[in-house]
Chain A
Amino acid sequence: MKIISCIKPVPDPASRLIINESKTWIKDNDLTFVASEADNYALEEALRLKEKHQGDVAILSMGGDEAARVLRSGLAMGADRAIHLLDPKFKGADEFAAAETLAKAIEKDGGADLVLAGVQSDDLGTGMTGVMLAEFLGYAHATVVIGVEADPAAKTLKVKRELEGGINETVELPFPAVLTIQFGINQPRYASLKGIMAAKKKELKAWSAADLGLSDNLVGKPGAMYEVKEVFVPERKSRVEIITGTAEEAAAKLVEKLRKEAKVI
């Protein structure tokens, strides 16, 4: 079974985030980057599938040094090899441009039986890249996955998805497929010391836009479908209102306000 697991580097959640001068993003040059949390669940799922069914787990990430860093961590966790999409032109990509770039890389690598990604990223959290990636690749897909059973012989997958309101569903998909993995599907392993030392010797190749045959207008900012106009810290508003009257009257007024003004009940 050939599995490719996608990893997005995001600022360490413990970082202090400061908005940049142009207010289009955060100042990210001094930050430490880690793998987006959901992507760790995806990689762990990939490693477990490999342990069960044999095969090859490649990891794929786009970005500068920060991507190399999360790839090395992924190799230390147990991935077999890594592909680093490294090109200054990739900078400024939105989900659409990122998905097209990732898709081209997966095609260049000869495709996969299964592509895994986190359900959403820790920074933007739109949850779109995985689905778009499936579309670019022409693969089947399932989102918010909380359980995976693969049958490599039959080339099918049985996947459990989480729906709203505490309901789950099971769907069957053929290979090749893209799955976006929900938080908490498993307990991601730590890289062991042996894994860390072994990571050095594993393959880590870098591909540029040219290597992928992607023209400049399809990658990075020019390839993006939208533009961030402003990043801001939401204004904190608090309003205090003291409701007078007897307990019964006050309770009635409170219910009324919660229902009509605050619209929370």
Chain B
Amino acid sequence: MAKEVTELKKGGSFLIEETAKEDVFTPEDLSEEQKMIREMTEQFVEDEVVPQQEQIENKQWDVTRNLLRRCGELGLLGIEVPEEYGGENLDKISSMIVSEKLGRVASFAVTYGGHSGIGTLPIVYFGAEEHKRKYLPLLCKAEKISAYALSEASSGSDALSAKTTAVRSADGSHWILNGEKMWITNAAFADMFVTFAQATQGDQKQFSCFIVEKDYPGVSTGAEEHKMGLKGSSTRTLVLDNARIPIDNVLGEIGKGHHVAFNILNMGRAKLAAGAVGGSKTALNASIAYAKQRVAFGKPISSFGAIKQKLAEMAVRTWITEGMVYRTAGLMDRRLESVDVKDPKQVLKAIEEYAVECSILKVFASEVLDFVVDEAVQIHGGFGYSAEYPVERYYRDSRVNRIFEGTNEINRLLIPGMLLKRASSGQLPLHAAVRSVMDEVMSAGIGNEPSGPFARERSGVKQAQKALLLVAGSAIQRFRDSIRDEQEVLMHISNMVMDVYAMDTAVCRLMKNSGELHADVVSTFMNDAIADIKFSGRQVLAATGDGDTLRIQLSALRRLLRWTPVNTVGARRRIAEHLIDHGVYAL
């Protein structure tokens, strides 16, 4: 990557600046090593995981555990673990590559993430030296399997209101935990649980994190949940009945459990998105293959426009998401280059800089995956509804991505929330940008248009940024601090933010690796994204103003989002024909 570009991009800056294409890492920029990691993971999945998928789905946990051990041998469990504790400490782009490739086998990917991500990283970032020495080398080899226990029956999105208690034993040697944690991935075969509970002293409750080993007295798991999908990943409750946890097993500090809980979510969300990209490609590949061989009215259904339109749109959205995932990982890696990787605080801070982008990825990618698997079933017709074809599983497995790692609603609320926080703490000059757009549109001008190559696309991004700032500014003016209670408005604003990030990324990727087909992909996406931005903008403006103000703002929005439609029918046909010709997603 171009190290001459010294300025590190601030999180959220894509909303207020014109992005230079050099600042966007694209999947076409992978290094030789990253490509080898991609091939190795792909081969491992193809040769070892896919052939055992039926056993995995049938909950043969020994198969799953063995595969985790194989991951350990290949080094896939320690990507984010420092070398001195048995890991590889690789870049975040490599981490995304592995998550993407594992996305093909959703159940196993969730097992993998539960162990190597949320099960291991709290120890990497918050563990005391003894914790790291004791657990990390074993976790990297899957000699111990870990799990993460945060949710409870009555607390999910509001995890901090957990009811599980931790009280010090009379002799002070142990914490006594009581309660039941829910939705614990890997619970059936985990050896340890990163567990959250309220350290309780009298009336005082302090949210805290503990390492709970399965063999401690009073620790057990409940029955397997009967889930809609991901049937090959274990999900149970963790039952803590006077569980005795050694006093040294506090992860981080008492009362600082929320640091552990929230800080590992950013990478978790980004990796979820990478997995969703892998899942989308898998479902798309199955659909292309099916559409080519299924004959109706004497022709393969891939020759019909109705099917081509679907295949193309699945590919477009997948390509767009893929770009966003690798851009974000690239941003993190650039920032991590300038910090001391041995200092977990600095590492977490560098990742947290892009918390907005991580939430965007999570929501965007999980919804793209849901769209893609839905169309995949549709293309398969009746066979798609039958368990004989894998798309039936893809459809079921996809759904939970919109729920876990922070529901899409929570993340949609977080996006503007975090942006506003960054604005008021001076990390992002959002208010100045809003003022300047407000002034500009009120004076009826629309500013300087970009010129040169890709002027139309760049101008589309710029105008969409302005439209967002206009709409957000109007909402902030109207609601001031109480905007956080206006969830519907915030969700619309979030949709606009996501589309701006998507378009900005896509245009930079196109500028870096221009090709006719990619130009079709980008213009098709922008065509619809700008319409969506207009739709959300109008909803917000109508909720924030009326009369003349509303009229003026609506007309400004219309002016900003003027966009001559492109021939998406032709573009989608060309994209589909390319897919059909290659037989797989090959954009």
Which residue on chain A has the smallest CB distance to residue B37?
A196
Which stretch from B69-77, B181-189, B197-205, B433-441 is at the chain A interface? B69-77
A76, CB-defined interface residue at 8 Å: yes
A192 touches B90 (CB 8 A): no
C-alpha spacing A199/B36, complex, angstroms: 11
Contact of B74 among A72, A190, A199, A200 (CB under 8 A): A190
A16 touches B582 (CB 8 A): yes
B583 / chain A contacts, CB cutoff of 8 Å: 16
B79 touches A190 (CB 8 A): no
B36 / chain A contacts, CB cutoff of 8 Å: 72-73, 76, 191, 196, 199
A193, CB-defined interface residue at 8 Å: yes
B43, CB-defined interface residue at 8 Å: yes
B76 touches A72 (CB 8 A): no
C-alpha spacing A76/B74, complex, angstroms: 11
Nearest-Cβ distance from residue B213 to partner chain A, whole angstroms: 28
B88 / chain A contacts, CB cutoff of 8 Å: 193-194, 197
Which residue on chain A has the smallest CB distance to residue B78?
A193
Which residue on chain B has the smallest CB distance to residue A68?
B32
Interface centre among A193, A194, A196, A199 (most CB of B within 10 A): A193
B44, CB-defined interface residue at 8 Å: yes
A194 touches B33 (CB 8 A): no
Main SS of the interface on chain B? helix
A193 touches B90 (CB 8 A): yes
Which residue on chain A has the smallest CB distance to residue B582?
A16
User: A190 with B33: in contact, given A16-B582, A197-B88, A197-B90 (CB under 8 Å)?
Assistant: no
By size class, the interface of chain B is: 10 to 19
- A residues 197-215 in Cβ contact with B at 8 Å: 197, 199-200
Nearest-Cβ distance from residue A98 to partner chain B, whole angstroms: 25
A190 touches B582 (CB 8 A): no
B223, CB-defined interface residue at 8 Å: no
User: A193 with B74: in contact, given A72-B36, A73-B36, A200-B33 (CB under 8 Å)?
Assistant: yes
Nearest-Cβ distance from residue A28 to partner chain B, whole angstroms: 17
B40, CB-defined interface residue at 8 Å: yes
B33 touches A196 (CB 8 A): yes
- B residues 30-89 in Cβ contact with A at 8 Å: 32-33, 36-37, 39-40, 43-44, 73-76, 78-79, 88
Nearest-Cβ distance from residue B48 to partner chain A, whole angstroms: 9
A72 touches B90 (CB 8 A): no
C-alpha spacing A252/B249, complex, angstroms: 83
Nearest-Cβ distance from residue A199 to partner chain B, whole angstroms: 8
A192 / chain B contacts, CB cutoff of 8 Å: 40, 73-75
B37 / chain A contacts, CB cutoff of 8 Å: 193, 196
B582 touches A193 (CB 8 A): no
6 contacts between A and B (CB under 8 A): A76-B36, A190-B44, A192-B40, A193-B37, A193-B76, A193-B88
- A residues touching B (Cβ–Cβ < 8 Å)? 16, 69, 72-73, 76, 190-194, 196-197, 199-200
* Nearest 8 interchain pairs by C-beta: A193-B75, A192-B75, A196-B36, A192-B74, A193-B88, A190-B40, A194-B75, A191-B40
